Amino acid sequence: MAVYTDITEGDLGAFLRNYSIGELLSYKGIAEGTENSNFLLHTSTGPFILTLYEKRVEEADLPFFLGLMDHLAARGISCPLPVHRHDGGTIGTLAGRPAAIITFLEGMWPRRPTVVHCREVGKVLAAMHLAGADFAMTRKNALAVEGWQELWAASRERADEVAAGLTQEVDADFALLEKEWPDHLPKGIIHADLFPDNVFFLGSELSGLIDFYFACNDLLAYDLATCLNAWCFEKDMSFNITKGAALLSGYQSVRVLSDAEKAALPVLARGSALRFMLTRLYDWLHGPDGDLVVKRDPAEYIRKLRFHRSISSVQEYGLS
């Protein structure tokens, strides 16, 4: 989350007259994240999240994202729900941006994920994959290999400013991934961004998932590989195989991976690391600066990408 577009109290008050959520008591911007402008609202009926959609979120995709939340919640996945306006819709306009209000999810995201957290995330990811199987709407992954190539084309010329030799490394990654990307694996609805700050816990109990604005149809095992990157590395960028084993065993306790999916995990994890390195690199080089915008350093994912290049066996991720 972040704040790219500020809002005035007067504009917000007019926007809220389209909803039955009570009187506005206070609001403040949320400075975490990188994609949309987010605000915490406190009203006389409770807290809500207001999101103004910008950057990579297309307005035409919003019915997919908001409909998916309703669909998953109806099938037992704890996640926020879009609040409906008086006219029955869920999308309005505020400060020149498409905007929606969603319910507030109790809990905190884990700043230092444990083995227990990783196991629970594996379970809920698999449950989400199964729950999304009958979702009627579809959305292409805009940040699949073709999207990575566009980001790289916009950043390649300056990549070595960020890390010496990065241009040559990433060119080699693309050559391998374009040849070996396993597009034949099972597909379905994926979250595509299930980082720790998008998973809330109450103590050791997972209370829900948030931020479905990258959700799409793609390889289910790619979603799992993204979680390996997001949850199983320590602060020094060393891979914690115990956390990896917990994540993978948690997932397979709900949905068993095929042999082909298991064999593809190293390539998928490498591709996922490349995807997040490239979005961070692009934003680092081209994104706006400001007190309420947090840029994420691509160096973290450069190091993760280098780790995945060294993997010779899926067992090195903790898969038994």
Amino acid letter at 295?
A: K
Counting other chains too, the contacts that 80-89 makes at CB distance below 8 Å and 24 or more residues apart are 80/49, 80/104, 80/105, 80/208, 80/210, 83/19, 83/21, 83/48, 85/18, 85/19, 86/18, 86/19, 86/20, 87/18
Tokens encoding 66:
């908001």
Residue pointed to by tokens 């400075």: 31
Q: What is the DSSP letter of 261?
A: H
CB 274 within 8 A of CB 222: no
For the chain of 320 residues, list the mean pLDDT of each consecutive stretch of 10: 76 95 93 76 96 83 95 96 94 93 95 97 98 97 94 96 96 94 97 96 94 96 98 96 98 98 97 97 81 74 96 92
CB 62 within 8 A of CB 131: no
Residues ≥6 apart with Cβ < 8 Å to 236 = none
Predicted confidence at residue 5, as pLDDT, reads 81
Burial (CB count <10 Å: 0-12, 13-18, 19+), residue 300: middle
Question: What span, in angstroms and rounded, lies between the C-alpha atoms of 70 and 77?
Answer: 10
Question: What span, in angstroms and rounded, lies between the C-alpha atoms of 114 and 123?
Answer: 15
Question: What span, in angstroms and rounded, lies between the C-alpha atoms of 152 and 277?
Answer: 10
Sign of CA pseudo-dihedral 13, 293, 111, 79: positive
What does the CA dihedral 5, 8, 12, 15 come to, rounded to 10 degrees? Answer: -80
Nearest to 5 by CA among 84, 76, 97: 97
| Helical residues (DSSP H) of 218-293, grouped into ranges | 220-231, 241-252, 259-286
Q: What is the pTM of this model?
A: 0.91
Amino acid letter at 143?
A: L
Question: What span, in angstroms and rounded, lies between the C-alpha atoms of 40 and 48?
Answer: 6
Task: Name the pairing type of β-strands 205-209 and 199-202.
Answer: antiparallel
Predicted confidence at residue 286, as pLDDT, reads 87
Q: What is the DSSP letter of 90?
A: S
Predicted confidence at residue 3, as pLDDT, reads 64
Counting other chains too, the contacts that 305-313 makes at CB distance below 8 Å and 24 or more residues apart are 305/169, 305/173, 305/270, 305/273, 305/274, 305/277, 306/169, 307/233, 307/237, 307/239, 307/273, 308/266, 308/269, 308/270, 308/273, 309/173, 309/270, 311/266, 311/269, 311/270, 313/266
Q: Using alpha carbons only, how large is the chain's radius of gyration in Å?
A: 20
Predicted confidence at residue 307, as pLDDT, reads 96
Tokens encoding 49:
């999240």
Q: Which domains does the chain have, with CATH numbers?
A: 9-103 (3.30.200.20), 115-317 (3.90.1200.10)
Predicted confidence at residue 294, as pLDDT, reads 63
Determine the angle formed by the axes of helices 145-155 and 166-180, rounding to 10 degrees. 160
Predicted confidence at residue 320, as pLDDT, reads 81
Reduced to 3 states, what is the DSSP secondary structure of residue 256?
A: coil
Phi-psi region of 168 (alpha: psi -120 to 50; beta: other; left: phi over 0): alpha
Amino acid letter at 308?
A: H
